[in-house]
């Protein structure tokens, strides 16, 4: 094999890190350890003859060579997926309606949809972005076929991974120093809201609710303005906000169980079956 050949595993590692934003987030998407992923990137850069990424603990950025390589890498991986699909037999067709919260959409949906579209180009996808508390009733009413949600109870759907909850604040305002603690919360019934308030109650920390919103953008705006601290999924924290912990006087938080859940009405849908399989293949850890 020529030393300059670009192996699929190296290209898949490269694209996954670009899409996920960090090696930590990308590793489970390709079912590799961080060290294995780092080694694949190193081999790719040796084959290319130049760095393709600059990276640190918080984020990655494309180099000029990486920007040039990325569209080619995507096309190669898509062509490979299409070849695999062609060899499997008749293609899947139909329509699937998918639900996902904003924070999971940003962090996890892109690699799922990109691979799914390459494998099943005959499937039409409709996407609904709402919080889990809104998606679960819509599943029950068969308004959507499947959804990526935070579990509201054990055993619901197929568990894919656990997502940490973290406190966040804006360094310029240090809202976490105020008494009582000003808190921005998600909608009533939200697991993140319940867990945050339960943790504060257990710590016996005085707090007041100053902002309610079911929107991720709304939560981030409340923090950026110095209005409050908030609890977000770790995958959705913008790099300019501070992740807070015991050093800031705040209690630890549990992890959310993230699952893919199907509606009963979608049981015979081959498109929904294929989408559920793709979620599991891409995100299950």
240-282 per-position pLDDT tens digit: 999 999 999 999 999 999 999 999 999 999 999 999 999 998 8
What tens digit of pLDDT does each residue of 153-183 get?
Answer: 888 999 999 999 999 999 999 999 999 999 9
Residue 188: its H or E element: none
Per residue in 118-155, pLDDT (tens digit) is 888 889 999 999 999 999 999 999 999 999 999 988 88
Same domain, yes or no, for 134 and 273? yes
| 146 and 270 in a common domain | yes
**What average pLDDT does the structure give for the chain?**
91
pLDDT band at residue 3 using 50, 70 and 90 as cut-offs: low
For residues 126 and 65, membership in a common domain is answered with: no
pLDDT value for 83:
82
Containing domain of residue 243, as a range? 163-255
- Vertex 230, ends 228 and 231: CA angle to 5°? 170
Asked if 186 and 80 sit in the same domain, the reply is no
> Is residue 89 very low, low, confident or very high in pLDDT (cuts 50, 70, 90)?
low
- The tokens describing 169, both together, are 């604040």
Number of domains making up the chain = 3
Neighbours of 110 (CB within 10 A): 14
Same structural domain, 171 and 247: yes
- Is 52 buried (19+), middle (13-18) or exposed (0-12) by CB count in 10 A? buried
Mean pLDDT of 186-197: 94
Same domain membership, residue 186 and residue 72: no
Whether 98 shows a pLDDT value over 80: the answer reads yes
Residue 249 placed within a domain: yes
Helices (H), 150-190: none
**CATH classification at residue 177:** 3.40.190.10
Report the pLDDT value the prediction gives residue 25, as an integer from 0 to 100: 78
Per-residue pLDDT at 2: 56
Assess whether 131 and 176 both reside in one domain.
no
User: Cα separation of 118 and 24, whole Å?
Assistant: 25
- Dihedral angle of Cα 148, 232, 30, 136, to the nearest 10 degrees: -10
């Amino acid at each position: 094999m020529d030393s300059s050949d670009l192996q699929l595993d190296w290209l898949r590692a490269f694209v996954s890190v670009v899409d996920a934003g960090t090696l930590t987030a990308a590793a489970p998407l390709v079912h590799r350890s961080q060290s294995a992923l780092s080694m694949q990137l190193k081999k790719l850069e040796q084959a290319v003859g130049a760095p393709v990424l600059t990276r640190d603990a918080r984020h990655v950025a494309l180099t000029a060579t990486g920007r040039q390589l990325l569209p080619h890498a995507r096309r190669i991986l898509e062509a490979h997926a299409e070849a695999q699909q062609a060899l499997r037999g008749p293609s899947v067709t139909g329509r699937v309606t998918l639900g996902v919260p904003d924070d999971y959409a940003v962090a996890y949906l892109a690699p799922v949809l990109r691979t799914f579209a390459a494998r099943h180009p005959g499937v039409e996808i409709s996407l609904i972005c709402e919080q889990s508390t809104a998606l679960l009733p819509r599943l029950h009413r068969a308004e959507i076929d499947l959804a990526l949600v935070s579990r509201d109870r054990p055993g619901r759907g197929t568990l894919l991974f656990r997502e940490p909850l973290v406190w966040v604040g804006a360094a310029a305002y240090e809202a976490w120093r105020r008494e009582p603690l000003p808190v921005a919360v998600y909608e009533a019934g939200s697991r993140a809201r319940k867990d945050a308030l339960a943790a504060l109650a257990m710590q016996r920390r005085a707090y007041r609710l100053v902002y309610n919103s079911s929107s991720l953008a709304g939560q981030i705006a409340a923090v950026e303005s110095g209005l409050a601290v908030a609890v977000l999924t770790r995958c959705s924290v913008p790099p300019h906000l501070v992740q807070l912990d015991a050093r800031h006087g705040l209690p630890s938080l549990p992890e959310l169980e993230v699952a893919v859940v199907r509606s009963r009405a979608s049981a015979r849908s081959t498109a929904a079956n294929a989408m559920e399989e793709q979620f599991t293949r891409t995100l299950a850890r």
